[in-house]
């Protein structure tokens, strides 16, 4: 997990603390995003459809996601292209950060929880 762009040892440690000893308890990417406080919350009014960041969840994990997103927005070319495209669509910087946090949470869930589920049954059989 540390080798991925923008994620260092501090972020990896924070996510490991969040997941804990039983990654099986987190059943989906959406549940992990909610646990991190990176899931979108509807904030629509009238004909305007918007979402905002969840203020709940594990605050340190959310801060770690924010650091990853900021690093990627500065140095990662695919992320810079994404930001440019979303800005052209009319999204604000806050909305773009919200979308990127959800994406990064999805990737981290794949590293932490899915791999442990694949490894878990093989260890139990041996």
Residue 126 domain-assigned (yes or no): no
pTM above 0.95, yes or no: no
Q: Does the residue 47 lie in any domain? A: yes
Percentage of residues in the chain with pLDDT exceeding 70? Answer: 83
pLDDT in tens, 11-42: 777 777 777 777 778 888 888 888 888 887 88
Report the distance separating Cα 87 and Cα 24, nearest Å.
37
Per the structure, the count of domains in the chain is 1
Domain contains 54 = yes
**In the predicted model, what is the mean pLDDT of residues 97-102?**
91
Q: State the chain's maximal CA–CA distance in angstroms.
A: 58
pLDDT, tens digit, 9 for 90 and up, residues 69-94: 999 999 999 999 999 999 999 999 98
C-alpha to C-alpha distance for 63 and 69, rounded to whole angstroms = 10
Range of the domain at 52: 9-120
Name the phi and psi angles at 42, rounded to 5.
Answer: -60, 135
With a CB cutoff of 8 Å and minimum separation 6, the contacts of 72 are 5, 6, 79, 100, 104
């Amino acid at each position: 997990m540390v080798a991925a762009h923008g994620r260092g040892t501090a972020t990896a440690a924070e996510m490991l603390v969040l997941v804990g000893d039983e990654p099986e308890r987190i059943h989906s990417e959406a549940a992990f995003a909610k646990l991190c406080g990176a899931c979108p919350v509807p904030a629509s009014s009238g004909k305007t459809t918007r979402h905002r960041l969840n203020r709940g969840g594990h605050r340190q994990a959310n801060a770690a996601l924010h650091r990853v997103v900021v690093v990627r927005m500065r140095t990662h070319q695919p992320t810079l292209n994404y930001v440019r495209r979303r800005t052209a669509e009319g999204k604000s910087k806050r909305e773009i950060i919200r979308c990127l946090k959800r994406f990064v949470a999805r990737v981290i869930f794949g590293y932490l929880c899915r791999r442990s589920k694949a490894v878990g049954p093989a260890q139990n059989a041996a």
